[in-house]
Amino acid sequence: MRLVLLGPPGAGKGTQAVRLADRFGIPQISTGDILREHVQENTMLGIRARTFMDRGEYVPDQLVVEMVTERLGEPDAEKGFILDGFPRTVRQAESLEGALTAAARPLSAVLMFAIDDEMAIRRLSGRWTCPVCKRTYNMEFKPPVQEGICDFDGSELERRADDDELTVRRRIEVYREQTAPLERFYRERGLLREVDAQAPEDEVTERTIALLDELEDA
Ligand code: AP5
């Protein structure tokens, strides 16, 4: 199974990607997580990426494409992968298509998680993330058992630097300008499947798995 998860900030791509990765035994590849690791480790890529990320803008295509191409070449991605947050521009989508076609490993499907802006803002203003296992929590929708602590590994939860309301609004605008055109790109290729992501987490997971099971049976 080779999947791309599309959807605006806060749609639940990361949340669902972790669950789907567990369910199908394939890695979640989140460009946001990889970039944040580079920022934390102060690598050259991290230093360049940070200026864009802090403003809610996209990191230049070339940097991200190289990073993903390298990651897709790792052994755990051989049996499949879930791309979470990549591609995000038509140029990234074309590069991915070229690389996967050359390797005779086409995408199985592109899942489009749809939510409205106000729900996205509500979700992101309540988000806390575990820096170790990357699980996300939400003060309104899914609080951890003990405030500020990850239920799974006991790490201290963190807020993301780009989750303040102004930056979230800018991220949504950038998504509309640069990523929304990918819906058409993938619809034309017969790969796009829409999931209503306004529903509670478990319901979204059930709908997504049902959809993927249907695709596997087809
Ligand atoms: P990235 O980390 O990918 O951020 P994003 O796309 O803005 O998406 P989010 O992680 O904010 O949202 P999500 O949809 O994953 O939601 P989540 O599951 O966490 O990218 C960050 C930045 O990196 C970009 O702005 C850019 O600068 C750069 N970047 C990354 N990829 C790039 C690329 N390809 N090209 C260029 N630049 C790139 O859920 C959100 C909250 O809602 C959580 O609290 C969660 O618990 C809660 N929640 C989730 N689902 C539900 C539900 N169904 N009901 C109730 N609550 C829910």
Amino acid symbol at 214: E
Closest by Cα among 33, 199, 208 to 116: 199
As a whole number, mean pLDDT of residues 138-166 equals 94
As a whole number, mean pLDDT of residues 96-101 equals 96
For the cut 90, the answer to whether the pLDDT of residue 216 exceeds it is: no
**Amino acid 9: pLDDT:** 96
Angle at the Cα of 26 from the Cα atoms of 190 and 171, rounded to 5 degrees: 65
Both tokens assigned to 38: 């580079």
Cα(88)–Cα(116) distance, rounded to whole angstroms? 18
For the cut 90, the answer to whether the pLDDT of residue 153 exceeds it is: yes
Intra-chain end-to-end CA distance of the chain, in Å: 13
Closest by Cα among 36, 13, 214 to 111: 13
Catalytic residue (choose from 13, 50, 123, 193) = 13
Cα(137)–Cα(128) distance, rounded to whole angstroms? 5
- Span from the CA of 103 to the centroid of ligand 1 (angstroms): 29
User: Mind listing the pLDDT tens digit for each residue in 170-207?
Assistant: 999 999 999 999 999 999 999 999 999 999 999 999 99
Q: Which residue has the tokens 């460009």?
A: 31
Catalytic residue (choose from 160, 170, 187, 207) = 160
User: Mind listing the pLDDT tens digit for each residue in 16-74?
Assistant: 999 999 999 999 999 999 999 999 999 999 999 999 999 999 999 999 999 999 999 99
- Span from the CA of 12 to the centroid of ligand 1 (angstroms): 7
Q: Which residues contact 34 (CB under 8 A, 6 or more apart)?
A: 67, 71
Q: Is the CB of 64 under 6 A from ligand 1?
A: yes
For the cut 90, the answer to whether the pLDDT of residue 106 exceeds it is: yes
pTM of the model: 0.94
